[in-house]
Amino acid sequence: MPHRNVEELKAAYPDSAWRGRFVEICDLMDLLGGCVIADSYTISDDLRNAITLSAAGVALRDKLVTKEGVAAKEAKLMCALSLGHDELFIDIEKTDPDELARAISKEVLEGRIQLPFVFGPELYDRYAELFEDEKDILTLDETLRLLDALPVGVFQFGRFTTGPYGVRRAGTSRSLQSKRRVSGYHCSRAICRALHPIYLETSRIAAVNRDREKLEDLLSSMDGEAAEWWAFATEVSGATSAYYGDQRAGTLIPLIGDALALDELRALIWALLDTSKGRLRADVAGFLDVRNANTAVADLGRAELLQLALFARESELRIAVDRLVRDGVIEVPPGEVRRAVVSFGMRSGAFGLAPELGRHGIRFSSDEPGFALLRERRLLDALYVREADTDVEELEWQLRGLEIPDLDERLEYFFQRRAPREALERMVLARKTNMIAACEEVGLEENGGLSDRELIDTILWKLGFPVPSEEDPHKDFWARHERLWSLTQSSEIGGSERFIEAATPYFASLEGLLVDALAFSSWALLTDHLDADAPFSYDDEADRAAGLALMNEIAPSPAGSSNYSAERVDLGNLISGFSALAGRLEACVATPVDYERPPSELPDYDGKTELKSFLLNSTVMFLNLTPPSRDRIITGLREITQVLTSAEVNSVRNEYAHYRRTVRAISRLESALDAIRQAVTRIETLGLCRLLFRPARMTRDEWGRSVFYYSGPRGLEHSFSRPTRFDWMGLPGMSESFYAVRSAAIGEPTEVLRFTRRFRSPFLEMWSGYPNRRRRPRAKSAEEAEVYGAKRDALSH
């Protein structure tokens, strides 16, 4: 029989019930094909009896048994796993998918068939316990030791879920399939951020795998090419059409599994059990007592909770997570974006959709250029029905002033010329029906009492745009500074309550600003960020405390050691702290040999190429900067202390409550405020404080030279040029927001020291100690290298 493609198979098998049964059997064969078995594995009678072969399958099985000496049970399963050639090897009508699922479930629960649990930190931590060194291909014994301590892997093959509850049929279908290539470890190289994969071995001598080559030989000897059975199954399952979706085609399970702490995950399942109108309770009642949702989930672990999550629809998961974030049950600090960690590679569909969780809820993002803009354009189209006269009139009114005759061309012009926020504010907020349509388009349950600003922010976020929060840590300080400056020019100075009310919070905010600047700058300049648990990343709690501890060591006051970690630090000590930090930096410059990085910590490429340079040869980051940068920073730190001291800022701060409106008093206060303005501006210009810079735009010329522009608070800007020799040192990339120490150049003027933000949240706590780097690479023998190369080639396809 000639080769049959998908369209020919669709014509030959039009019955929808048969197709559904066929797809489910294919899903279960997929499940068996990706599992791990031990050498001692034998096929159970239940599994053998659950499969009925077709006439073509029986003929092939008999050849394996009589001509190749393969045991009958193994031959039967081998034929089923092959699915078919020109004809199917499985009798679809006589094979019951539910009976087959029960047989596989028994094997899973007894541990005879194993699937890796790949969500959350469990596998990563277990690997770290077992292997001190890097090891990317595990033997069968090592694979079994790794998996034996883990829960059953949570996956979904069509409607069949796997996990601690065995193989269970769900009411909704997904493609979340097991693979033996999983994320496993971080290597020993500090500059490497990649999470390296490991390959899990399955038995090669268990009878069902040992004789696979005999089956392949028989199949290759058959006439003609095999029909496209697997592609046919994908097509009729609906997975092909879903593949090109961009909103609801993705699955949230990798995000939920990796980015929700255990208590958050329990809260999610509890909410799902209570809000799915009894459907979810009914689906899981056969294996879980759900009379009380809180009690049902109280003692469940991550794997059990994730398998339960698979019984919910994706829309239910999305709505439930959004509600929990909005209600504060799942705490997502402003600026934090949670993403899958160890399962980050599980993207969905043609656009490589990746789920993300921020303070505006769930969204699916893509690396496809212009992806969010394309979504925005579709949303604008969906707001007005062209066939309805009232909609057309409304749209023409909204687009008034654009002298373009054709309405669709006018809308396209509007889309191309307006910033996304401006376009959405004008069109979405124009009327209630537009708001409802926009919420439906982005998967937002309701506006939930959101303000107009919050609603537009949420829609922008869900479309895929960055939605920066107002994060200028000095905003309040500058507002208070301007107010106090104005009061010095009026009759309100002196004993006026209004003046006192302005001065008190002003000096308090100044002290807070200086403490923050000293903590950040001492940490940034004196710490070895390459060897940190989270390289080039700043946590405003832990790292701030580390910076203040450094200040306690290096900035003694006349009265003894000043405590920079105290709730309140004397302003005089804060002022002198900047010159004290300069002194410590100068001392480090005088003895650089004391801080040389050990050769074992240098990257492999160091000294082996002239195209890329590694300049972080000192464990004190300040010593890795260019000499002009070091001079500028030391001079700037001393100037900050000098200008504040000369203007007697500390005395003014202590005496402002007793001022009277005299020429001398006004002049003294004006001098102090002017000195403070100069000092804080200097701190900001040098980058010795936490001012966040976000990607703004990028330009590229015909030769491939690019400039990346970043914008900070109050019009501050910085740019980076690419290509550069200095982008292999582990600093944050060009797609990230960061705190830029703009005076701290490494190698070239624009390549400056910079740090991403870390947020104190349950998500951060869940992944504390990550990355846990392996001790060193493990050398491979020539034989191992050959095997590894072959496996890696196979995996790449």
Same domain, 418 and 525: no
pLDDT band for position 499 (cuts 50, 70, 90): confident
Residues 500 and 625 in one domain: yes
CA-to-CA dists, residue 447 to 332, 392, 735, angstroms: 19, 25, 30
| Position 121 in a domain | no
Q: Residue 533: what pLDDT?
A: 81
Mode of pairing for the β-strands spanning 537-539 and 748-758: parallel
Question: Please, which pLDDT band fits residue 788 given cuts at 50, 70 and 90?
Answer: very low
Residue 447 sits in which domain range?
371-463
> Based on the structure, what is the number of domains in the chain?
3
**Same domain, yes or no: 388 and 453:** yes
Q: Which helix (H) or strand (E) holds 447?
A: none
Query: What integer best gives the mean pLDDT of the chain?
Result: 88
Is 40 a domain residue?
yes
Q: What's the pLDDT band for 392 if we cut at 50, 70, 90? A: confident
Residues 485 and 413 reside in one and the same domain? no
Q: End of a domain among 686, 709, 743?
A: 686
pLDDT score recorded for residue 786 = 43
Q: Are 45 and 72 found together in one domain?
A: yes
For 156, list phi and psi in degrees, rounded to 5.
-145, 125
3-class secondary structure, 199? strand
Domain annotation covers residue 629: yes
Q: What's the rounded mean pLDDT across residues 370-375?
A: 92
Single residue among 626, 653, 686 that ends a domain in this structure: 686
Q: Phi-psi region for residue 154, left (φ > 0), alpha (ψ -120 to 50) or beta?
A: beta
Instruction: Please check the confidence at residue 210 and state whether its pLDDT lies above 70.
Output: yes
684 or 449: which leads in pLDDT: 684
Amino acid at 93: E
Q: Tell me, yes or no, whether 766 lies in a domain.
A: no
pLDDT at 488 over 90: no
In angstroms, the CA 789 to CA 231 distance is 28
DSSP 53: B
Residues 389 and 512 in one domain: no
Tell me, yes or no, whether 174 lies in a domain.
no
Mean pLDDT of 427-435: 89
Q: Domain boundary residue among 242, 274, 305?
A: 242
The closest alpha carbon to 428, from 408, 398, 388, belongs to 398
Residues 438 and 483 in one domain: no
pLDDT at residue 795 above 50?
Answer: no
Which of 37-41, 327-331, 778-782 has the lowest average pLDDT?
Answer: 778-782
| 652 and 508, same domain (yes or no) | yes
Name the phi and psi angles at 744, rounded to 5: -100, 80
> Do 491 and 414 fall within a single domain?
no
- Cα–Cα distance measured from residue 543 to residue 566, given in angstroms and rounded to the nearest whole number: 16
Q: What is the pLDDT of residue 290?
A: 87
| pLDDT over threshold 50, residue 784 | no
Report how far residue 548's alpha carbon sits from residue 543's, in angstroms, rounded to the nearest whole number.
Answer: 9
Question: If you average pLDDT over residues 601-621, what whole number do you get?
Answer: 91
Q: Are residues 457 and 559 in the same domain?
A: no
Would the pLDDT of 495 be above 70?
A: no
pLDDT value at residue 783: 40
| 237 in the same domain as 98 | yes
Residues 43-99: pLDDT tens digits?
999 999 999 999 999 999 999 999 999 999 999 999 999 999 999 999 999 999 999
The per-residue pLDDT for 787 is: 41
Residue 658 inside a domain? The answer is yes
User: Per-residue pLDDT for 780 more than 70?
Assistant: no
pLDDT value of position 168: 97
What pLDDT was estimated at residue 368? Answer: 86
Residue 290 lies in a domain: no
Residues 6+ apart with CB under 8 A from 383: 395, 427, 428, 434, 437, 438
297 occurs within a structural domain: no
- pLDDT exceeds cutoff 60 at 792: no
Residue 659: per-residue pLDDT: 57
Of the pLDDT bands very low, low, confident and very high (cuts 50, 70, 90), residue 518 is very high
545 and 658 inside one domain: yes
User: If you count DSSP H runs as helices and E runs as strands, how many of each does the chain have, helices first?
Assistant: 33, 15
At 779 the pLDDT is 46
